[in-house]
Amino acid sequence: MRVLRTVAQTRAWRAPSGRVAFVPTMGALHAGHLSLMARAVRESDAAIASIFVNPTQFGPNEDFAKYPRREAEDLAMLESAGLAAAFVPSVEEVYPPGDAATVDPGPIAAPLEGAARPGHFAGVATVVKRLFDIVRPDVAFFGQKDFQQLRVIQTMARALDLGVRVIGCPTVREADGLAMSSRNAYLSPDERRRALALSRGLFAARDLWDGGTREPDRLVSAVRRHADAPGVALEYVSANDPISLSELRRPAERALLSLAARVGKARLIDNVLLGMDLSELS
Ligand code: AMP
């Protein structure tokens, strides 16, 4: 596996023809990331991942400085996953001094995480656009875990005609239901146990959906009944249209149920997609 640290090295690596698949990450890799890597390897001639903790997507009081960084372990994991290359740039390499252009992700970034984290998706869209320009992939894989991020990138790729297919991959969970996340490393054993209330709430609502319930407020209440638990500070629970992300006010045939919560020092997000398959999104 080639470890590429500069834009020039990456452009040179990319030059040969062939179908290139790309998985952007912030590192501290886990089995969720590896599921994306497996698809990238399977569906390309050469798969490349990036490890870059992107400063522009963190708010001033967020965990940029403390975000887990484990480069050596990450590179070993990428190598055994069969990646052809890893792009591990410095901040200056991605954001050359004086180059201040940014991407406005538009209305898809307004609700949910966009409302909770002002500027977050402008940072995400800007870094992914920049990474796409450097890597020039044919296809890129993103996790359902960050559903709004997936939709922001799909919308950007279409609006700016980037020529990259953006594919969503299902959320990988621990055996007990907790969505895998690099931020789970912040949880004490007790907090980790309490955090299970989040997936439990989403699964209870999915059961209701499977039983025929379509009223958004009933679905949201079902999530809250479990997730509003001791040690869990819910920020929001919301039912939205999975394409536009506008909030659902009436029964619908498809829904994204999503939530954000603080558990100890960790801010966790999770979601379930109801009445549609990830592969229907592009
Ligand atoms: P991150 O390193 O957190 O920026 O995530 C990099 C990519 O991995 C994003 O597309 C995430 O949505 C995806 N990802 C993170 N956690 C999971 C998970 N538990 N299952 C599937 N994909 C995930």
- Nearest alpha carbon, ligand 1 atom 8: 33
> What's the first-to-final CA gap in the chain, in angstroms?
30
Pocket of ligand 1 (CB under 6 A): 25-26, 32-33, 35-36, 142-143, 145-146, 169, 171-172, 179-182
DSSP 171: P
Provide the whole-model pTM.
Answer: 0.98
Angstrom distance (rounded) from CA 256 to CA 144? 11
Residue-level pLDDT at 159: 98
Q: Tell me the two tokens of residue 246.
A: 């506008």
Q: Of all atoms in ligand 1, which is nearest to the CA of residue 183? A: 3
Q: Tell me the two tokens of residue 125.
A: 């869209």
Residue-level pLDDT at 82: 98
- Regions of the chain with pLDDT less than 70: none
Residue-level pLDDT at 15: 78
Give per-residue burial for 65-93: e unless 16+ CB within 10 Å, then b. eebbeeeeebbebbeebebbbbbbbeeeb
CB atoms within 10 A of CB 24: 24
Which residue reads 């898809």 in tokens? 108
In the reported structure, the alpha carbon of residue 101 is separated from the centroid of ligand 1 by a whole-number distance in angstroms of 26
**Residue of 25, 29, 144, 202 best suited for mutating to test ligand 1, as the one with most atoms within 8 Å of CB:** 25
